Amino acid sequence: MTDAVRAAARRMYTAFNAREYTSMEEIFTTDFFSHPLGTTGPESVTRAWRRFHEAFPDVQVVVEDMVVEGNTAAVRTSVRGVPGGQPPTMLEIFRVRDGRIAELWGLSSLRRDS
């Protein structure tokens, strides 16, 4: 189980960095829920990623640490290609079901101006 959970998380970051929006149904469950965004479904991820890539065209997420327990992965990443000195850090927790991400929680040090 831990290998499948680790693979699902890595697949998501690979798709994000490659701007591969067509693989969302393979990565996320149809009822996927993002707690930080309060959105449901793979299409909500596509919209969020497109907005983020438009705002930061050179952005890349680098996995720094990943801990897997059961059907859950906790991942600490650095976000490269955004303005500022030190790259922002994200901490995301994924719950995986049947090899796809079903639920996500996250915190980010990325500063967002209103």
Q: What is the CATH number of the domain that holds 95?
A: 3.10.450.50
Instruction: Look up the domain containing 95 and give its range.
Output: 2-108
Q: Which parts of the chain are beta strand (E)?
A: 28-34, 39-40, 60-69, 72-80, 89-97, 100-108
Q: Are 97 and 31 in contact (CB under 8 A)?
A: no
pLDDT digits (tens, 9 = 90+) for 32-58: 999 999 999 999 999 999 999 999 999
- 95 domain residue, yes or no: yes
Number of domains the chain contains = 1
Rounded mean pLDDT, 85-93 = 91
Q: Work out the mean pLDDT of the chain and round it to a whole number.
A: 94
Helices assigned H by DSSP within 19-105:
24-27, 42-55
Task: Report the pLDDT value the prediction gives residue 83, as an integer from 0 to 100.
Answer: 87
- 32 domain residue, yes or no: yes
Residue 78 in this model has a pLDDT that exceeds 50: yes
CA-wise closest residue to 42 among 30, 53, 57: 30
CA-wise closest residue to 89 among 51, 52, 113, 63: 63
- 114 domain residue, yes or no: no
- 113 domain residue, yes or no: no
Rounded mean pLDDT, 56-84 = 96
